[in-house]
Each structure stands twice: as C-alpha cells, then as structure tokens.
Structure 1
Amino acid sequence: MYNHRGRGRGRGRGVFMRRPNRNKETETTTSSTPHNDNSPVSIRSTTASLINKVTINLELDEATETWFAQFRNLWNFVKRSPPTSNMLTQHLDTVENPYEHVLRLMYNSFDFKLAKSKSLTMTIMEEFKIYSTVSRNRIHHLLTSEIKIAAFNVVRKQSQFGLMKLVVDIYEMLNDCDIFYDLIVQMIENKEYKDACQCSSLLRLQDKFGIYEFLVPLVLQDKLVIVEEFLNDSPHHQYDLVSYLDSILGQPSSIRITLDNYIVKQEIPHVKFEKLSYKPWRKLIVRLIKIYNLPADVSPYLNKKRNEGALYFLLNKRFVDQSFGYESWREMVEEAVQDDENLQKDLVVQIALFGTPSEALMWANYYKIPREDWPYSVRLFNDNPDKDRHQQQNLQPAVEENWDTVNKKEIKMPVLKLNLPPDCVILVDNPEGFRTFLDYIKTETLIGVDCEWKPSFGVQRNELALMQIASRRAVYILDTISLAHQANLWQELGKTVFNNCDILKLGFSFTGDTSMILQSLPSLSFNQNGGFLDLLTLWKQIDKHPKVKLPFEVHSGGPSLGMLVQICLGYVLDKSDQFSNWERRPLRQSQLHYAALDAYCLIQVFDVLRRCSESVGFPFEDTCYHLMTVSKGKKKKSRTNIGKSKDGPRINPQPPSPHYEPKPAEQVKFVCDSMLQGLGKNLRRCGINTAILENNEDHQECVRFYQDERRFILTRGTVFNTLNGYVTPGHCFNVQSEDVDEQLKKVLEYFNVTVTKDDVFSRCQSCNSNSFVKISKSTINAIALEDSKARQLEYAEAIDLADEATGFSSEDDDFCPPPISYTRKWETCTEEKIDFGLCMTRNGAKIQIRDVPEGILNKHDIFYICEDCGKVYWDGTHFERVLANRLQGIVMK
C-alpha cells in the first residue's frame, strides 16, 4: 500500500500543484468543482526539511549486527516467545534511545518489506510496544517530533498497512498529527494520491483536506476501495464528493469532455478514461449514496436524468405496450415529472406525438404550460376539438384506446377475476385490525403471500408499501406504511405464521419479496425454510416431468406469474395497476383488487399444479417437501463440491463461432476472466488487445467490457452459463483446458484469428498498451542517472532482479521483443516525448528504470518504454526460440 514503485495505466503526467492557504472556516468546504479553471485544487508547496527524509542513521554498527544475527537465529527457532522477548528487552535496555534503535532493527529485518502478522519485523515491533508501555516513564522524553517523522518515513518504505498502524500507535503520532501535514501535502504534490489518502485517514487529518486534493484524482484513477475507506470516517466528505460527482452529470458536455480540461491542467496520471462515461459514473454515484445512506437531494442531476428515463419508460408502457391503467399512469407520471418544467413540456410534446392531443392538452393545463410551448396539434385541438383534422388522423393509433383495461385485441384469454365477495378483501391499517387478522390467519394451513412497493426510478431506496396474505376464504392487505412501527405486532406475525412450519406459505419468485420484508420490517424475522414454497421453483420441477400436462398451452412469454396463471387457469392477469404509486393513500379500489388477486391466485395455481401432478403419479408432496427443506442446503453443498461429482456441473453448449473468415490479430479484442490471467498474457504476447480482470473484480465486469468496448469474453466453468446469457451467441467462449498453451490454441481456432510474426510482442504484457517510446543507449543511461539522484535509501537486503531481466514477464525469459529487423505492429514515438526531470513518459507513467539490470543498460543500443505503464524493454535474443516452441503452429510463416 505504501510502496510507490508500481503504477497503473494513465494518460496524465505528474507535476506539482499549488494549494491555496486555508483558513479555519474553509478547511472542510469546497466552493467550486475541478472542471472549472478557477478550481481550488492546487496544493501549496512546502519547504519542510524533513519531508520524505530519514534523519537518523539506519545502518547497524558491528556490535548490533552481531547481536541481531543471534536474535534472528533464536527467532527462527522459537519465533515470538519469552526467550526472544527477554533477549530483545535486555538489548533495548543497553541502547541510548530505544525509539530510534528499534527503527534500525525493523528496517534491517529481512522481511521488512512484507511484514505480515508473524514476521520477524512484527515480532520486534509488537514486543517494543509492550516494552515502551512498561518503560514509558523512563524513555518517553526520548520520543521527539524528529523521531516520529523518521518512523513515519521509514515505515512508508514497506507495503503492509498493519505495520503502518502499529508504528503510528507505538510512536504516538496522533498526539502530534499536525506535524505530518506537510508530508501528506508532499505526497499529493508527488501524485501519490493513494498514500496521501490512506495516511491522512490513519493520522486523523481528514478535515485538513477537501475532496479535490486526492479523492477526486483517486476516483479518476478508479481506486474506489481507497476512496470508500476514507469516506467511512468522514461524513462531510461523503456529501461533498457525491455532490461533485453529480454536478458533472449536469454539464452540457459528456463526462469525458467535461473532465478533460481538468485532467490535462492538473496533469493527473493513470486516469481510467474508460470509466468516464455515463453508466459507470452514474453507478458510482448510486453506490455511494446507498453505502452512506445519503439524502436524495445530494444528487439533483442524477435524479433529473433518472426521471427523464422514467418518463420515456412510462410513455412506452402506456402507448406502446398499452399495459397501464389511467390512474396508475397518472400517478407514476406525476412522480417522474414532479416540478421539472422541462420534463412537463416534454411530456406534453411526447403525448401529442403519440396522437392523443386531448390527453396532451389535459397535461398542458394541469401543469399550466404557456400556450406558446404547446405542440401545434395541441393548439389546433384546443381551438376546435370537434374538427376532423387530417394531421391528427395520421397520428391516431390503429387500435382505439381504453384507458382502464388491458388491450383486448392482444388478449386471447379472459381476464382473471377475484372469486371472493368484496367484504372478504380486508385492508388492515391499524393495530386493532392487525390483531383481528392474527387471530384469523394462525388457524389457516395454506396461505399465499405477496408484496407491493412503489417503483423507484431514482436513487431512493424502495420501501415496502403492502403485504398481502390470502387464504381460501379471505385476503388481508397489510398497510405496512401505517403499521411499520408496530414492532410487537410484526414479531407476533413472524412467530405465529412465518416461523410456523404447519402453515404452508406460497410465493412466486419470493427472493425479492423476502429481501424487501427483511429490509423494511426488521422486527419480522423469520426462517425462510419454515414452510415457504416458491411456485416458480415448483413449476420448473414439474415441467421436467414429461407426463405432467397443465390445462392450457401458451407459446410465448417468460416464466412469470402471469404466464403460470394462463397455463393453469386459462386467464390473464390484468397488470394495469402493477406500476402504481403504492405509497399514496388512500389506495384506489383497483389497486386493492390487483393486490388481493396477486396473492389469492397463488392458491388457485397451487391447486391446479397438485391436481395435474397427482393424476399422473408425480410425487407432488415429496417434491414440495424437498424444495422447502432440502434445496437450499443441497445447493450450498453442491457449490462446494463442484468438480467432485462424476459428471460435474452442467455447462451450457458453446454456440458457433461468430467468425467464418480469418481475422487478423489487430482486429480482435478479448476480455479474460480472472480465472484466465495466464491466457490473457499469452494473447497479449500474440499482439492481441486483451483486458484481464484482477482477482478482486467481479465476473460481471466482463459484460461491461463487452458492452462498452465490444470485446469477446473468455471465461470457464459455470460462470460461462451466466455471462453467455448477456451477450450475442458466440461472443462468450468457455475455455475448458487447464493448459495455458492449449487454451491459447483453442481460443485462436474458435475465433479464427491469424497471428503473424509482426504481431508477436507488439503489446505490453503489463498494461496491454501498444504505444512505445524508442530511445537510444545514451538516453536510457541519462534517465538512469536522473533516477539515481532521486533515490532514497535502498532496502537493506539485496533485491534480485534476475527474474525481471527480460522485461516482458518474470515468469520465464521468453518474453523479449523480437529483433528490430521485424516490422512491429505497434506505435512508436521519439525520445523527445520523455520528461527527463521526472523520469516519466508523456502519459504520466514513471519509467521503471530500476527494474533494468545495470549490465543491460550498456549491452543494447535501443530500448523501448511503454508509454502507459513505463515498463522498459530491449531487443531480445529468444524471439525465434519462442516461435519454435510456445508459439509453434500458431504464428503464420
């Protein structure tokens, strides 16, 4: 975490920024956004002499070196134990300043750079923490500010956050946290945003910085884990950052164009430009709002765009699908449009375009839109509503509308009616009614359960509005909004009904309802194995049995409750009230009817499934019992035993290849799942543009790469079943072989990709770039000289660079560029693009000169530097050997 040597891809270049002086009132507020030229993002320079310097001698004298060797031998034998503790304590009693001396021991430990929990370094520091606590009165005066800064700078030379926290605690840095402010400022000036963010949080200096110093750059670098860790302890930064991110959506230009000027001006390195588009930006805002439970007004521009999308969705549902009742349509339109005058005008225009000027006129009057903003057809209709106009006739839909019913021409079956008297649909909205309901329902043995909540088009969290519980004789509709705070009543419902295995509870695709219940009614805790039967799962099981025939046949539609009702009952469900504002009170009669029917029809469908199954000898009761009690446990068990069964998990068949003709390597792009990182490196070696998921990235990221960059997806195992459903057939490939070389051959064969010698090694295996700076021997040595001047004290133990001596990979020595005589399919530019002072490429990447052994610098005449990650390559000697071995039969002659 605090090791600065490795950096990702980027487009910016690192330069120093100035920071304006802050007063007490403005330390934690922001006045403008980074996309403005007058943004307060510059960082004030500092001249503190101790910044990034260790002012104490870290070398061990001869006597200490001898003692330390003995201590290491003892530790190797007994690890952390009383003997090692006593030996270290006795040694510290003999030194002049234990706080200073233990830094030398820590720094010279062989495992200092990767100090894990049971390492020698952690043993020393954990024992010293005890020692410093016991001896505090005697040695505390030796703990000076200079020692604290030295300890901070020493521990930053390693990569483990746990050791960093321990050192901060031992050296009591929080008591003097302000002395580290300049160090963090210097990190920001050096573009070390990650370290600055983590150190400011660790040292409780969050309030000294706004969002622009490092949070916004980290967002642009897509280092969101670091950002969220910081925000967890800083509520005002949560609001400020989300407000800024939302303000970008309010700009007239695209996100990329809006931020380009800011990125170039501040020269932020390693920007993930593929993230600077609406979808990932919007998802980030929504994620942060949900994580930190921020109010809706923090994102007005996101809400506006969501409402625009909601409006067009509602228009499509009403005028194209014709599946909205008028009242539901009006409620949801008012919810989407609200007070936005532009959306109000757009609503009138769109309705007029659908050929209903009378409805458009109604909305124009309702929102008091000036006549000059009315569409022409609406003005004509207003002036003479009875006149027969040719323009309007052309716009009228072919089917006459009926606002309150489903389009009858599209329905071949009658609409399902609720076969209960009106007084058997009972709305429960007070405690007395709830107790009456409990007395009734606990005597039933079979009930149907369904829930309703208002569709949410914004970032607000949905809340449960109704819960319907139906028996054969009545349907109770529980108003959860009115009764939400009646915790004792919901607890009683959970105890007597939801946790009662003697009552069979029917639902359809009940996972969503369950999540909503647990979220909105935490008092209603229940065991989902306590007598719950999902009819969707039961339907799938019955459908596998060839002898079970349900009464009606329907040849279109997906596995929905409406479809199951049609197959079992021969009726369609009227969904005209499905998209309703279920939070508005009082509820309409049509809403109550819809809600009651959705729960009651579950019992009707269950009866038909039972009757049809038992008539052909299908084990209906056993199947239901198995689904209610065994399925979840069995699912978990099979998940942990994947690959152990004889046949293994069922994988969907691979569709045909999308390529019938050969495709050159440069015309194909892939994304490799995290399980296929070795294959990804092989594809890059062949010059193929390949994105590779990191271990911590979700498999669904492959779909984003497919959608945004049109990359073919490479995955394996059961993940293929999931990802393949999101893409065009043939655009996701299931890699079956365990051998990396065999995987490469199969992928190239399936996608019909041709690889030539000019493709091989034309891309950087570290970052996938194909843009390189071509430099001479004298230039690479000049860069090495500049870098050596800037180096801090090197680590005590020697670093073996032999593994990286070939540049492209540390896996073996085959990853070298081919001789210059070949024409590479890469982009090269001249060495004038190098910033010698900062040892950076024009894209802001630190040149990784330290990874090149000194002998190599004088051995070759030409070097190549990747512009995006700074990795250095040179002309290899193994090119022909690679072609003759690992790439034999792959590369065209």
Structure 2
Amino acid sequence: MNYNRGRGRGRGKPRYTQQYAAGHQSGPSPSTIPIPINKNLSVITVDLELDEAGSQWMSQLRSNWNYIKNSPIVVNMVLRKFEQAANPYEETLRIVYNCPDFKYAKQKSLAIFVIDEFKKWCQRVRSEIIHLLTGDVKLSAFNVVRQQNNFSMMKLVAEVYEMLEDCDIFFDIIQCMIQQKQYKEACQSVALLGLHKKFGINEFLVPLVLQDKTAVVEDFLADSIEHQTELVSFLDSKLGKNTSVRMAWDSYIHEHKIPEIKYDKIHTKPFRKFITRYKKMYNLLDEVTPNLIKKQNEGALQFLLQRRYVKNAIGDESFKEMVHEAVQNDKYLQLELVLLAAQYGDTETALHFALLYGIPKHDWPYNVRMYVDNPNNERHQQQQPANLFEEENWDEPVQQVDYYKLNLPIGNICLVDCHTEFNNFLENNLKHAHIVGIDCEWKPSFGSQKNELALMQIATRDEVFILDVIQLGSGAGAAQLWENLGRYCFNNCDILKLGFGLTSDMSMIGQSLPHTNINQKIGFLDLLNIWRQMEKQNIKLPFEVQSGGPSLSTLVQQCFGAPLNKADQFSNWEKRPLRDSQLVYAALDAYCLIEIYDVLKQCCENTTFNFDEACYHLMTSSNSSLKKSKKGLNKKKTVKPVLKQPPNTDFPVVDASDITFVCDTMLQGLGKLLRKCGISTKILDNTDDHMTCLKIYQDEGRYILTRGQTFSNFYGSVPKGHCFNVIYDDLEDALKSVLEYYKITVRKEHVFSICQACNSNSFLKLSKSTMQTLVRNDKFKMQNPIPAGLEEDDEATGFSSEEEVDDDFYMTAKLPDPPISRKWDLCSDEPVDVGLCRLRNGVKINVQAVPDGVLEKQDMYYVCEMCGKVYWDGTHFERALAGKLQEVVL
C-alpha cells in the first residue's frame, strides 16, 4: 500500500469548528456550520463529514456492531477502511466522530473500539504512515476528542496520535480553555500532555480546589513535586490572615471571577483538614505550612488544657510533657499557656512554665506574681485546679475515684529494650502461652506529623512484656527479630490474640514494623466486637455503668466495678526513660484484656449465647465469601443476579458532619432524610443518568447510595463499601441501614444543620429588623417595577451587616432547654444588599416565603448562602426528633 498519494476528494479542508463539534451528536449538517470564533484555536482541519459511500459504510458498521460487537467481521471491516484511506489518521478521526456513542463513549463503546483497533494497526505500519501525522492533524484530533466526556478516550487518542511528541502546540488551546473557565478539562489536558512546567497554580489548580474538585488536582500533583509545595504553601497563606478564611479568599475569588465556588468548604475547620491531608499525602516539611502548624498547636494547647482542668483526664507529668510539645518555641503560645494555666487557678504550673520559657515578670498574670511574693497564702489554690465552668461547692467533699489496679506484681512487668532480651522473650516466654493481650502506644499527634509506634505490650497470664520499639529499632538489624515475633505469636494459630479496637493497633504495627507480616485472619479477637454482640443479646455484665461510650475503660468498669486510670494516656511515649506510671499504665491496658475475656465468657455460660462459636465467627468472618448463584440450565433468558452488599468491617465511627453521599434517582426521599440528619447529600434528578453517581464519586469522593441492578453494575468500579445497596423501601429502615453500615453518629446538633433545598451548610444570620426591611423592599419592588431600560444595579442600595458571632451558636427560640449548638457554618459578618434583596454573592433571598405572622414572632433568621432559602426556629425541629429521626438521633 502507498500512503504518499493525495489527500483524496474533499479532504483536508478547514470546514468544521470546535463550536460545531460541541453541538454535534447524530451527524453533521453542512448547511448549519457556524463561523469559528478563533480560527487558530478552534478550527479542525480534518473534514469530518461523511460522503454517500462513507455514510453507507458507517451504517453497516453500526449494524454489525449492534449485533455481533467486536467480532472478526467488524475488526476486518475497520482494518480494510484504515488500509484504503488516503490518510488513516484523518479517516479514523472521521469514523470515531460519527460513531453514535462518540459524545458519551464508554469503555466498551464503538468509538473506543475503533481507536483501540487503530492503535494496534498503527503499531504494525507506523513507519509507512507516520509522515501523515502532521501538527494540524494532532490539533484536530485534540479539538475533536475533547468534545466528548470520557477522559480515558482522550488518553487513548493522545497516545495514538503521539501528542506528547509535539505537546507545545497545544499550549494556546489550553490557555483558551482556562479563559473559558474549563478548569477541570485544562488540568487534565496539561497532566496528560506533560505541560506541568508551563502553568502555575493559579491557572486552574486553585480554582479547582475552591470548586472542591480535588480528585483532578491530585491526579495533576502526582507528577509535579514543585506544584505540590507551591499549592499547599499558597493555601496555607490564607490561614495566616487576620480575617476569617472566607474573607481571606474573597478578593481572590472576585479577581479571578471563579464560578461554582463550594462556599461550604471555605471555612477554617474544613480548610485546615484539607491542607493537613495534602501535607501528609505529599510528605511536605513543616516549613511549607507555618500557619497550619500554628493553628494546630493552638488547638492542641486548648485540647490539653480542657483534659487537664475541665475533664481531669490527664496526669501532671503527662500534661507538662505534651503541652511542651504543643507550644514548642512559639513565644505567643508560651505566654498563652502561662495565662490560661493561671486563669484555671493552677498558679504553680503557670509559674513553672513562666520560668521555663524565660517570660518577663511584667508579663506574668497577677496571681502568679502574688504567688511568688507570698507562696504560702496561695498554696491552697493549686491543690485543686479551679474549673472555669463549674462553681466551687464547699459543702460536698471531692469524691476520689477508685481506679482498677493491675493484678500483677511490678516485678512481672518486663521492659524489653535490647536484642538479647527480645530474643529471650521470643524463645522462652511465648512457648507455653495460649492466650495473649496485645496493645500499642504512640505519642499523640495533634497536627500533620506522622505517628510512630513507640511501645508494643504483649501480656500473658503471668507477665506483661513491654517491647520498646524505639530502642529495639525497626531497621535491618532488628528485622529478623520482628519477623520471628510475627511467626511465633501473630501468625501462630495456637495462640489467641486479644485486643480492643484492634484495627488501629494492627495498622500501626503494619506501618512501623512491616517485617512482622501479620495475618489478621489467624486467631485475632477484638473484644469490642464480642461485647457489642453480647449487648444485642441483652447479656448482663457484673456491674452496670450509667454513662460512658464503647471504650476499654467502660468495659473494665462493667466487668470489675472500677474504670481505668487514663491519666498517662496522653503521654510523650517517645521520651526516655519511661516513667513507672507509664509502664504500669501500658501493662494494665494489655493485661486487662485477658481478664475481660474470662469475665465475658463466664457471663455467657448460663445463657443461650454460644460464646466460643461467636468468637470463632468473628475471627473467621473475613474469610467468608459470597456464594455464586448457579445458572439454570434450561432458562431461555439469563438474568444478571443482583449482588449482595458485602459486610462493613473497615469503616471507623464518624460524625454526621464528616461523611458525604450521592443518592441515585430512585432514592430521592432517602437523600432528603440524610440532609435532615445533617449529612451532606447530593440527590440526582429524575432525568439524570445513573452513571452520574460514578462521576460525582470520582470528582468529590462521595459514597454512592443506589439499589438493585445499578448496584451490581457499579460493583467493582469503586472500592469495597464505597457503594451501598439500599434494600429497604421504607424510608426509616433505609436510613437506619445506611447509618449502621457507615457507623454514622447523628446528634441533635446535626439535625437541620444543612440546607434542605441545595445541600449547603453555609448560612447568614439576619436580625428581625433586617428581615423586615428586606420584606418591605421586596413588596415595594413588586408594586413598583423598574422602568424599561434601567438595570437593577442602577438602584440606590444599602448594606446591612450583623454582629459577628462564633461558628458554633445557640438557637434559642422554641428549642429544648438547654439550647442545641448547631453544626453548620455561620457567617454573620457578610453584608446584605437590602435594596436588591440579595446576598453579596448575588443570590436572591427568598423573602416571599416568610409568612407575615412569622415576621412578628421570630427574632432571628438564617439564610442559605447558596440558594437564598430562609429558615427560622420553630417546631419543625421537635417534630423531626419525634418522627422519622426519633430512633437515629442520640
């Protein structure tokens, strides 16, 4: 074959434009070809129109494809077409463009099939046809293929048409895409063509972050270390402003005119989480995010002060260790620590840190200076730190808590911190053990620092061995010892391994000590799981506990009548030498597991609950697999079976505000109920295709809720558990199944915390007077329309802003006492255009939906910043709690 001949009749004329291709679906119409806006960017030099013979051939190809798909007949048909074409590259582009499924091409579509066959054919004859692959053909291919929605097809075409060899010719087109606000498409194209160095973070990366399209951003950043650091550093700079995060971004958004902003994500808490995740993901140094580190340390300081002085849940030594880790060398936080400790009444600790950090005496709090001048008179103040939130009661003595004690001599706690002792432990102390308790300790991390395993406790019935991971090391020198530990203990089916909340411990061991090669299917029992099963069977434990969540301390109290002392839980476990109180605490956490196991088993002896069988099922349930249904031999029609939902064993307990969903078209009622629970949920319209769920999942990471055959179709396209099969028709049962599967905790503060109409959780707080003014102006505009020719912007307008309040505010009207703290983002410092009845972002406030009677009774209103819907406090909250949400809200 000779590919040096002419281009053929009617080929190569620059007739079809990008505009035309965007609107084309079924076939071109020569009489309606528009004039291109920019010839250099949008012209397609390949004639995409089919002549009469080409139309007949295409019709036959479609027919064959519909009946026999990619059979040898269809393959030979397209191969002959390639061989007969004057320019196979142009001919292939013409065929693909005229495929009926071109615009929405799926993986097994005709358009993808043609490109894939052309790729194979090109590999055999490339030397004969490569001269026909000109720059104009590459530009045409790029302009054509970007009109469809499948990025996989874009990657395939880029490979076949060798676009990376001349990637610079696409620069202007991508710039045009950016100008047209096609940020996602521009980002994907740059990543595909390897043009990372040609573009900065502001062209599309920052806009995509503000649009919450982070999956596209992460794909781009995976191949560009420079952009990782630059983007995270820029985002961190917004945390350092004196204003709120929303205000810090305001000028940037308006300057770049970025559309489709996800305002519910532009607040301090979600933004800090986002930056923290990227810092961990790309292993960036603390110097890249100074503002994030400062915010995290401030939060850590507040957290530790709360645990020390309000909850009394951390010991003095542990508090001093951890609070020193939090403030580090930050002079502001050092002084803040001194002031707050003195404010809580702990003048001795305040003085300790004032001297430690060399804070000038004139900056000391008054009570600390008085304490130094006359310590004896002030001595009583530090005996019992004052609680700022409770009044001191002089009539009732302080009750001392009796904590559960270790039932082993101190001498039976063995610290293993050298290789000789480790080897002796492996060879001698595990030989006769049939049951062990396992626990781990690591230094708490309040920021983006990576947690490192510090201790591993292994308890037998007679001794507790504390393996000092830091001293023993995890490198090549200790690799064989850790491998032997995995062989002799973790992977030994003759030893029952007990834990509580084993997932986090096993994950930490696997991360820090990969040589252990743990197989969690061999003899691991999580006591938390067996405890939950016993509760479902109403099996009573020896002691009743009125309060307390599903913690190890609560279980110990139910078994033995006294809780664990968690004063050393928040310790610097990496500091050496370890304190005696730390060693006892670590030993007890592991040893009590064996004692608990004995009590649980004894409580089940005189019941119908088979304890041993339940334990065996929990330890082996991960091995069970779904049985495949047998196909009927005599059935004429084969029906694809609907898959069952795999059990959930991996998801941790989450708050309603920390998980997001997308509901398929058939689950719109469930989606509305989830929104009532304060769970961010996108709901597909009746006209939306089911595949939209997958697109939203890929773009936003939302878990998919669907049912029936659609679930079976999605199964395997997303990780296990990321798509849930709703089997209940009743809305309440469906809601409960979702909440139970994903272990979602819904509290009163979550209810009605997001807009029921648009799913936003960003609200503007308006006073009664402002709302009445808005209603009056709206009624006046209705009665006095604007004369023709005048725009709304020409009206004289006024702005009103309400006083600033905290993000967590209290709703008082008609709500239970005490008031419920709402889990939504409240922005009270945003001005409102009362003349136009609009928010500053241009959204129309729906004041017409506010009844006149409500205007006289309610003092406060909340306006959704995304859709303008107005809310006020009323009986709807109580009705919801007494209705469908009665059994799901804690």
TM bin, normalised by shorter chain, reads 0.5 to 0.7
Contact (CA 8 Å) 2:556, 2:564: kept in 1 or not? yes
| Residues 28-74 of structure 1: per-residue CA shift (max 9 Å, x gap) | xxxxxxxxxxxxxxxxxxx9852122123221223333333344444
Q: In angstroms, what is the RMSD of aligned CA positions?
A: 4.3
Contact (CA 8 Å) 2:404, 2:565: kept in 1 or not? yes
* Amino acid in structure 2 at the alignment position of 1:552: F
SS in 2 for 1:90: helix
**What is the aligned partner in structure 1 of residue 735 from structure 2?**
716
Structure-2 separation of matches of 1:163 and 1:181: 20
**What is the aligned partner in structure 2 of residue 445 from structure 1?**
434
| Residues 768-794 of structure 1: per-residue CA shift (max 9 Å, x gap) | xxxxxx999999xxxxxxxxxxxxxxx
Cα deviation for residue 88 of structure 1 reads 3.2
**What is the aligned partner in structure 1 of residue 745 from structure 2?**
725
SS in 1 for 2:458: strand
SS in 1 for 2:59: helix
Structure-2 separation of matches of 1:135 and 1:641: 45
**What is the aligned partner in structure 2 of residue 326 from structure 1?**
316
Structure-2 separation of matches of 1:377 and 1:566: 40
Cα deviation for residue 438 of structure 1 reads 0.6
Contact (CA 8 Å) 2:662, 2:704: kept in 1 or not? no
| Residues 760-819 of structure 1: per-residue CA shift (max 9 Å, x gap) | xxxxxxxxxxxxxx999999xxxxxxxxxxxxxxxxxxxxxxxxxxxxxxxxxxxxxxxx
* Amino acid in structure 2 at the alignment position of 1:51: L
Contact (CA 8 Å) 1:713, 1:732: kept in 2 or not? no
SS in 1 for 2:532: helix
Q: Mapping of 1:343-742 within 5 angstroms?
A: 343-387=333-377, 409-413=398-402, 415-439=403-427, 440-482=429-471, 483-485=473-475, 486-543=478-535, 550-614=541-605, 619-630=610-621, 633=624, 674-675=663-664, 679=668, 692-693=682-683, 695=693, 696=697, 698=702, 716-721=735-740, 725-728=745-748, 731=751
Residue 269 of structure 1 pairs with residue 289 of structure 2: no
SS in 1 for 2:571: coil
Residue 62 of structure 1 pairs with residue 52 of structure 2: yes
TM-score when normalising by structure 2: 0.67
One of 188, 211, 236 as aligned partner of 1:198: 188
Contact (CA 8 Å) 2:455, 2:468: kept in 1 or not? yes
Cα deviation for residue 616 of structure 1 reads 6.4
| Residues 466-498 of structure 1: per-residue CA shift (max 9 Å, x gap) | 110011221110112233222221221111111
Contact (CA 8 Å) 2:433, 2:460: kept in 1 or not? yes
Residue 297 of structure 1 pairs with residue 317 of structure 2: no
* Amino acid in structure 2 at the alignment position of 1:423: G
**What is the aligned partner in structure 1 of residue 304 from structure 2?**
314
Cα deviation for residue 270 of structure 1 reads 1.4
Contact (CA 8 Å) 2:345, 2:386: kept in 1 or not? yes
Cα 1:409/1:613, change in 2 over 3 Å:
farther
| Residues 247-283 of structure 1: per-residue CA shift (max 9 Å, x gap) | 1111111111111111111111111112111122112
* Amino acid in structure 2 at the alignment position of 1:435: N
Cα deviation for residue 380 of structure 1 reads 2.2
| Residues 375-394 of structure 1: per-residue CA shift (max 9 Å, x gap) | 12222222333356999999
* Amino acid in structure 2 at the alignment position of 1:621: D
One of 173, 176, 187 as aligned partner of 2:163: 173
**What is the aligned partner in structure 2 of residue 112 from structure 1?**
102
One of 245, 256, 261 as aligned partner of 1:255: 245
**What is the aligned partner in structure 2 of residue 101 from structure 1?**
91
SS in 1 for 2:438: strand
Contact (CA 8 Å) 2:99, 2:110: kept in 1 or not? yes
Cα 1:140/1:468, change in 2 over 3 Å:
same
Structure-2 separation of matches of 1:393 and 1:576: 17
Cα 1:644/1:434, change in 2 over 3 Å:
closer
Contact (CA 8 Å) 1:428, 1:434: kept in 2 or not? yes
Structure-2 separation of matches of 1:408 and 1:551: 28
Cα deviation for residue 230 of structure 1 reads 1.0
**What is the aligned partner in structure 2 of residue 653 from structure 1?**
none
Structure-2 separation of matches of 1:298 and 1:324: 32
Contact (CA 8 Å) 1:48, 1:182: kept in 2 or not? no
**What is the aligned partner in structure 2 of residue 123 from structure 1?**
113
Contact (CA 8 Å) 1:680, 1:692: kept in 2 or not? no
SS in 2 for 1:122: helix
Cα deviation for residue 234 of structure 1 reads 1.6
Contact (CA 8 Å) 2:345, 2:381: kept in 1 or not? no
| Residues 492-516 of structure 1: per-residue CA shift (max 9 Å, x gap) | 1111111112112221222221222
SS in 1 for 2:41: coil
Cα deviation for residue 395 of structure 1 reads 8.6
SS in 2 for 1:476: strand
Cα 1:388/1:211, change in 2 over 3 Å:
closer
* Amino acid in structure 1 at the alignment position of 2:735: R
Structure-1 separation of matches of 2:542 and 2:267: 50
One of 217, 229, 251 as aligned partner of 1:239: 229
* Amino acid in structure 2 at the alignment position of 1:465: A
| Residues 414-444 of structure 1: per-residue CA shift (max 9 Å, x gap) | x333333333211112221111111111321
Structure-1 separation of matches of 2:645 and 2:103: 38
Cα 1:411/1:265, change in 2 over 3 Å:
same
**What is the aligned partner in structure 1 of residue 274 from structure 2?**
284
SS in 2 for 1:500: coil
Cα 1:353/1:82, change in 2 over 3 Å:
same
The worse-fitting range, judged by mean Cα deviation, of 447-456 and 385-394 is: 385-394
Cα 1:324/1:731, change in 2 over 3 Å:
closer
Structure-2 separation of matches of 1:93 and 1:778: 63
Contact (CA 8 Å) 2:210, 2:261: kept in 1 or not? yes
Cα 1:534/1:350, change in 2 over 3 Å:
same
Query: Percent of aligned pairs with the same residue?
Result: 48
TM-score when normalising by structure 1: 0.67
Structure-2 separation of matches of 1:213 and 1:159: 22
Cα deviation for residue 700 of structure 1 reads 11
Structure-1 separation of matches of 2:456 and 2:669: 50
Unaligned runs of 5+ in 1: 7-46, 401-406, 646-670, 702-711, 734-742, 745-773, 780-826, 834-840, 845-866, 870-893
Contact (CA 8 Å) 1:715, 1:732: kept in 2 or not? no
Structure-1 separation of matches of 2:209 and 2:265: 9
**What is the aligned partner in structure 2 of residue 767 from structure 1?**
none
SS in 2 for 1:718: helix
Structure-2 separation of matches of 1:190 and 1:322: 57
Cα deviation for residue 644 of structure 1 reads 13
SS in 2 for 1:135: helix
Cα deviation for residue 641 of structure 1 reads 8.0
Structure-2 separation of matches of 1:248 and 1:635: 50
Contact (CA 8 Å) 2:412, 2:463: kept in 1 or not? yes
Cα 1:185/1:430, change in 2 over 3 Å:
same
Cα deviation for residue 626 of structure 1 reads 3.5
Contact (CA 8 Å) 1:724, 1:732: kept in 2 or not? no
Contact (CA 8 Å) 1:672, 1:713: kept in 2 or not? no
Cα 1:595/1:635, change in 2 over 3 Å:
farther
Structure-2 separation of matches of 1:777 and 1:398: 63
Number of residue pairs the alignment of both structures matches: 664
Structure-2 separation of matches of 1:192 and 1:265: 17
